[in-house]
C-alpha cells in the first residue's frame, strides 16, 4: 500500500518524528510532501492520485471534493484531534475511513496554562522585556496561585488534569461544563456566569463548535473581576476578540494569555497579542516531544490496522467504511 504523509517539511520536523516516519515505512510505501506550501485541494488530489491512505496534519483540509476524485483512497488519517476541516460526510459517501488522533497533549497544555497564570501574575514576560530593552522594570505586587480561585471552562481531559494540579497548588477550583459530571467534593461545579464572577483566573478549555462560537463575549467579560485574567488554550472562535480587546484596553480585566486565536492555523491574532497586558504563544500548547510522538505514533498504529483491513482506534465513520483493503 501507498501512504502520503501530507505534512510540509517544517510540519514534519515539528509534528512527525523519525520514529513515527520509520514506523510508517515499515508498514507501507511512504510518499513525502516536499513543498513548503500546505497542500490545497488540487495539490492534494495530485499528490494522492495513486495512494491508499493520506496521513494529514491539521493544516491539510479534507475537503469533500477530494474523495470522489481519489478512487484508490481508502482512509484519511488526521494526525490531530481536530477534524473540523475534514468533510466526514463526503468521505463516508465515498466509503473512505476518517480517523483522528487522541489527546496526547493533555499534560503539555495544562503545564502551559500554569505558566501563563504565573506569568500574568508575576510579570515575568513584562519585566524580562524591560531588562532586555535596557529599561528599568517596574516592581509590581504579584498574586500567588495558592489561595486564589481558578475557573476552568470545560471539564474534559485537560480540564480534569489542570484541576488536579490546581488542587495540589492549594487553589480553589471551579468548573463550568453543562455536559460534565463532577464527583470530586473539592471541586465546585457552577454555572458559567458564577465562574466568571468568582474566579481570579479564568481558563478556557471548552470544545469549539457552533454552540460555543463567541462563548466569551462582551457580557461574559463584564462579569469578570477587574483583577482577574483570562487564559485561552482551546480555540480562537470561542472568543469575541473585539470584546476582549476592549476589556483589556479599558482595564476591565487585568490581562489575558492565549496560545490560539483567529489567525491562520488557529494562531493568536497579532493585533490582540501585541497589547501590553497580553502574553501569547504561537499555538504551541501541544508542541513537546512527548505529546507529538504520542499522536504521530497513533497514526502509525492506525495505518497498520487499516492495512490489515481492521477498524483502528480513533475511527469516526467505521460503519460507512466500504473501501477496505
The residue among 262, 263, 243 whose CA lies nearest residue 253 is: 243
User: 285 φ, ψ to 5°?
Assistant: -55, -40
Is 158 a residue whose pLDDT tops 90? yes
Q: Are 89 and 67 in contact (CB under 8 A)?
A: no
Rounded average pLDDT over 48-53: 96
- Is 278 strand, coil or helix? strand
Average pLDDT estimate for 106-110: 96
118-129 residue pLDDT tens: 999 999 999 999
Domains of the chain: residue spans and CATH: 2-103+289-320 (3.40.50.720), 105-280 (3.40.50.720)
pLDDT of residue 246 exceeding 90, the answer is yes
Counting residues of the chain whose pLDDT is more than 90, the rounded percentage is: 94
pTM (2 d.p.): 0.86
Average pLDDT, the chain: 96
Mean pLDDT of 179-207: 97
pLDDT at 265 over 90: no
Contact call for residues 203 and 146 (beta carbons, < 8 A)? no
Mean pLDDT throughout 18-40? 96
The three grid cell numbers given for residue 254, joined into one nine-digit string: 487585568
Q: What's the whole-number mean pLDDT along residues 275-289?
A: 94
Neighbours of 23 (CB within 10 A): 18
Question: What cell was used for 89?
Answer: 460526510
Amino acid at each position: 500500500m501507498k501512504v502520503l504523509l501530507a505534512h510540509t517539511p517544517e510540519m514534519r520536523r515539528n509534528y512527525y518524528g523519525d520514529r513515527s516516519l520509520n514506523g510508517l515505512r515499515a508498514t507501507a510505501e511512504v510518499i513525502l510532501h516536499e513543498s513548503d506550501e500546505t497542500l490545497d485541494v488540487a495539490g492534494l488530489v495530485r499528490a494522492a492520485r495513486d495512494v491508499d491512505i493520506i496521513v494529514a496534519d491539521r493544516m491539510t483540509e479534507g475537503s469533500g471534493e477530494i474523495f470522489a476524485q481519489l478512487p484508490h483512497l481508502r482512509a484519511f488519517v488526521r494526525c490531530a484531534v481536530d477534524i473540523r476541516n475534514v468533510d466526514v460526510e463526503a468521505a463516508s459517501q465515498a466509503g473512505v475511513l476518517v480517523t483522528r488522533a487522541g489527546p496526547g497533549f493533555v499534560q503539555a497544555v495544562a503545564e502551559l496554562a500554569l505558566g501563563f497564570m504565573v506569568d500574568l501574575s508575576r510579570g515575568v514576560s513584562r519585566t524580562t522585556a524591560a531588562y532586555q530593552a535596557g529599561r528599568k522594570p517596574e516592581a509590581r505586587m504579584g498574586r500567588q496561585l495558592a489561595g486564589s480561585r481558578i475557573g476552568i471552562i470545560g471539564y474534559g481531559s485537560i480540564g480534569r488534569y489542570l484541576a488536579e494540579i490546581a488542587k495540589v497548588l492549594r487553589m480553589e477550583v471551579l468548573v463550568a461544563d453543562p455536559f460534565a459530571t463532577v464527583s470530586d467534593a473539592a471541586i465546585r461545579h457552577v454555572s458559567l456566569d458564577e465562574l466568571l464572577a468568582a474566579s481570579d483566573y479564568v481558563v478556557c478549555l471548552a470544545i469549539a463548535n457552533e454552540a460555543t462560537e463567541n462563548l466569551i463575549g462582551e457580557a461574559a467579560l463584564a462579569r469578570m473581576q477587574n483583577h482577574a485574567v483570562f487564559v485561552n488554550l482551546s480555540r480562537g472562535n470561542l472568543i469575541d476578540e473585539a470584546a476582549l480587546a476592549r476589556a483589556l484596553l479599558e482595564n476591565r480585566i487585568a490581562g489575558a494569555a492565549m496560545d490560539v486565536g483567529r489567525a491562520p492555523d488557529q494562531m493568536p491574532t497579532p493585533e490582540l497579542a501585541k497589547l501590553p497586558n497580553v502574553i501569547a504563544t504561537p499555538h504551541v500548547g501541544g508542541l513537546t516531544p512527548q505529546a507529538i510522538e504520542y499522536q504521530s505514533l497513533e497514526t502509525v498504529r492506525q495505518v497498520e490496522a487499516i492495512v490489515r483491513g481492521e477498524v483502528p482506534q480513533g475511527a469516526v465513520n467505521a460503519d460507512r467504511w466500504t473501501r477496505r483493503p
